[in-house]
Structure 1
Amino acid sequence: MDAAHLIDEIYEAAVVPERWADVLDRLAAMAGAVGTILFAASPSRFQWTSSQAIQGVAAEWVASPFVADNLRGKRLVPLYEPRFLTDLDAIAPQELEQDPFYRDFLRPRGLGWCVGTSIRATSGDSIVFSIERLYADGPVPRETAAALDQFRPHLARASIIAARLGLERARASVAALELIGLPAAIITGRHSVLAANELIIACGAFEIGAFDRVRLSDPMANERLQLHLDVAGDAGLSFPIRATGDRPAFVAHLVPLRRAGLDVFSGAAQLFYLTEVGRGAAPSAAILEALFDLSPAEAKVTRLLLSGGTVSGIANNHGIRPETVRGQLKSVFAKTGVRRQAELIQLLGGIQSPGAPDLLSRPIASE
């Protein structure tokens, strides 16, 4: 592939984020490497993507202490030189032998050499392209780094374009959800609010805390949200927010966005939106399954309970043991964040589900 073709792909990736995977692979091939990691870092967020070939190792690195404490980050990333640099441009060979990041993390995984560049984004973020080479293949030659320099200005411009488009798309997304009545926000990988519509700002349940961190006014719901974001921040979740005298109850939903180049540059990581708990008929089992990741049996028991059933009555009518029903309800309590049947009924008794199929006629599995 000639240089002009790769430059075209770089600018295409700025607009079509799925194309970054191809760009990262092309850069790695030029350096005789196995893959490229692309990440954006600041005190408030860290987003990344990588070539498929090294995605597993990259994920291990992001989850390890080395993501915040490594010799490359201390020596190479802060330089912001307008060129590609290798390990040996800023780190002595004897230091590489003794450094825990190289010795204990990279080399046991077959890696150990890189060539990369750091770009200072207009937002203040550090945008880093790190091309990872096998340790057995030796250091990246300086002439290889020099050959990559021609692409750096284009990578820098594409980064700025992608970040701006990402922010505008985040704003457009929450604005579109406002048109259909959904309070919504886009949050980053470090859990700060990137964009929020007027409905969620005015709902009384949603707050923006220090460093733009997403918060909820209900202490119990907020505790659950913060714990989930800190422990499993890239996973989806639905959970209840209790009503107060000033506002209704809500069900909060976290939906992870794709980990593509656009999300790296803009910081967008998850869609957060609220559905209001009304006071109408009980929801169908299908709605309960979707909202809270209930099994079919758990959703069926919940639906029967909301329709006036009792543990013993449900067991007798469906030929299962009361212990089975209690076990299913215990799981439902954990998934919906309540502690007793009365709270479950209060929370779910009015979620509207017009047109949804009623599954009461199906048998309950003896889980």
Structure 2
Amino acid sequence: MPVTEAFYEAAIVPELWKEALNRAGEAWNADGVVVSSYPDCLSGYLNSDRMEEFCTRFVSEGWYKRDIRAVRGLAFVRKGNEIATDLDLFTPDELGQLPFYHDFIGATGFQWFAGALLTDMGASQITLSIHRKAGRDPFLSGDLSRIQRDLPHVKRAARLASKARMSYAEGLVDSLERMTCGAILIDWLGRVIRMNRKAESYIGSDLQVISSRLRSQQRENNKVLQDLIEACTQPLIERHRDSVTSALLHRSSELPLVVHAHPIVRRASDVFQGAAGLLLLSDPGEERGLDTKTIQKMFQLTPSELRISTGLAKGLDTQQIASQHGIGADTVRYHLKSIFAKTSTRHQAQLVSLLSRLSDPPELN
């Protein structure tokens, strides 16, 4: 399969990105290829097989915050250059002395790089970097010609992947309308991208949108709101398990709104997701019905995970759920670990609290 076709397939089926990058490395005579989000690896990265250790150290040792190559490279391509290489960006002395090269690149066994900007999503940019190990020649004109031949297709595939992921996020917002849950889609800069009609009904004196950003005139409310937005927009690799994920937003003449922050990007393969998270708003004074299909889509639960979540929301314990579905308690606990990860909860009580804020689940058929 030509490398360009592999990229188009990966744009539709995200699980195929690693294979596409492996093929690209072979076609471009490189030792590895990486697609990542900039700055700060906001939504993660994708890498070919031989870049595994490189990417792990890039993140774990904090080099993503000191990536001078990305800073200079993006400035270079924004001047109209399609591809940047080390030789375009640094002097020979810098290549030997800069900590990024001396302490990191050299230590990983790599040396040479060529990079391009694939797509700009406003709050973040998606970049392509192609790597060669030490002892090989740098990327010269003949190498760059091969890459430039395929680059337009890679860029189109990246734009297609970005549109597909954004459509998924926007679909979540609209589908939550069916369960009378307010939903506000937030980008990586904390700006409002989209909200459904239920969320719009909550906008007023207590909750406002000013210059595409959510605000409250009440100081305490505003702090709560910004903490929740920060929980959504933290870079994937910097998220903390103790981040604030839900709070009450007090209103002057009505019951407080319950607001829950739900990060959309949960794994590195979601690098093309331009939306950072959802804020879910519910009014405790309103009756709501649960749309199990929406809950399943929103948290990407398997059928087994959905049944277990619903059982907990009904007040059943682990053993009762196991007996009801003819499975072992250990199997229920195994599924619970996955449910906690997908819903950003840490224990059963927190999961039940989240589901109850959305609505009381009906019987599953």
Identity of aligned residues (%): 24
Letter matched to residue 168 of structure 2:
R
Matched, 1:26 2:33: no
CA offset digits 1:138-162 (Å, max 9, x no partner): 5345433322221011122233333
Confirm or deny that 1:221 pairs with 2:220: no
> Cα deviations across residues 308-363 of structure 1 (Å, max 9, x unaligned)?
xxxxxxxxxxxxxxxxxxxxxxxx8xx99xxxxxxx9xx9999853558xxxxxxx
TM-score norm. by structure 1 comes to 0.64
Secondary structure, counterpart of 2:271 in structure 1: helix
Question: Which is greater in Rg?
Answer: 1
Question: Residue 277 and residue 58 in structure 1: after superposition, are their counterparts in 2 closer, same or farther (change >3 A)?
Answer: farther
Write the distance in 1 (CA, Å) between the matches of 2:179 and 2:160.
Answer: 29
2:271 paired residue number: 264
SS in 1 for 2:107: helix
Aligned CA-pair RMSD: 4.3
1:41·1:126 contact (CA, 8 Å) conserved in 2?
A: yes
1:164 offset after TM fit, Å?
3.5
- Pair 168,190 (structure 1): closer, same or farther in 2 beyond 3 Å: same
Q: Deviations over 1:285-325 (max 9, x none)?
A: 569x97884645xx4xxxxxxxxxxxxxxxxxxxxxxxxxx
Q: Once the two structures are superposed, what CA deviation does each residue of 1:102-140 show, in whole Å capped at 9, x if it has no partner? A: 112222233332122234648696442102333355534
Check if 1:108 corresponds to 2:107. yes
Distance 2:248 2:189 in 1: 22
Question: 1:292, 1:148 → 2: CA distance?
Answer: 40
Normalization by structure 2: what TM-score?
A: 0.64
| Structure 1 unpaired stretches of 5+ | 300-331, 337-343, 357-367
State how many pairs are aligned. Answer: 303
Q: Distance in 1 between matches of 2:71 and 2:257?
A: 47
Trace 1:160-239 onto structure 2 (pairs within 5 A).
Answer: 160-204=159-203, 207-208=208-209, 212-213=212-213, 218-219=221-222, 221-222=224-225, 224-226=227-229, 228=231, 229-230=233-234, 232-233=238-239, 238-239=245-246
Letter in 1 for 2:275: A
Q: Which residue of 2 aligns with 1:158?
A: 157
Asked whether the equivalents of residues 277 and 352 of structure 1 are also in contact (C-alpha less than 8 Å), the reply is: no
Superposition pairs for residues 285-324 of structure 1, below 5 Å?
293=345, 295=347, 299=349
1:82-97 pair list within 5 angstroms: 83-97=82-96
Q: Matches of 2:357 and 2:81 in 1, distance apart?
A: 59
**Cα pair distance change 1:169/1:348, threshold 3 Å:** closer
Q: Which amino acid aligns with 1:239?
A: S
Cα deviations across residues 176-212 of structure 1 (Å, max 9, x unaligned)? Answer: 12122221233334433333222223324765456x4
Q: Does the 8 Å contact 1:115/1:132 carry over to 2?
A: yes
Cα distance in 1 between the residues matched to 2:357 and 2:22? 51
For the 8 Å contact 1:234–1:256, the answer to whether it is kept is no
Q: Is the CA contact 1:118–1:126 (under 8 Å) kept in the aligned structure 2?
A: yes
Where do 1:352-363 residues align within 5 Å? Answer: 353-354=360-361
Aligned equivalents of 1:73 and 1:92: distance in 2? Answer: 16
State the SS of the aligned residue for 2:256.
Answer: coil
Structure 2 distance, partners of 1:23, 1:151, is 12
CA distance in 1 between partners of 2:229 and 2:277 (Å):
14
Moved over 6 A (4+): 234-237, 289-292, 347-351
Q: Give the counterpart letter for 2:264 in structure 1.
A: P
Match of 1:246 in 2: 254
Kindly provide the amino acid, as one letter, of the partner of residue 50 in structure 1: L
- Structure 2 gap segments, 5+ residues each: 288-312, 318-335
Name the residue aligned to 1:117: 116
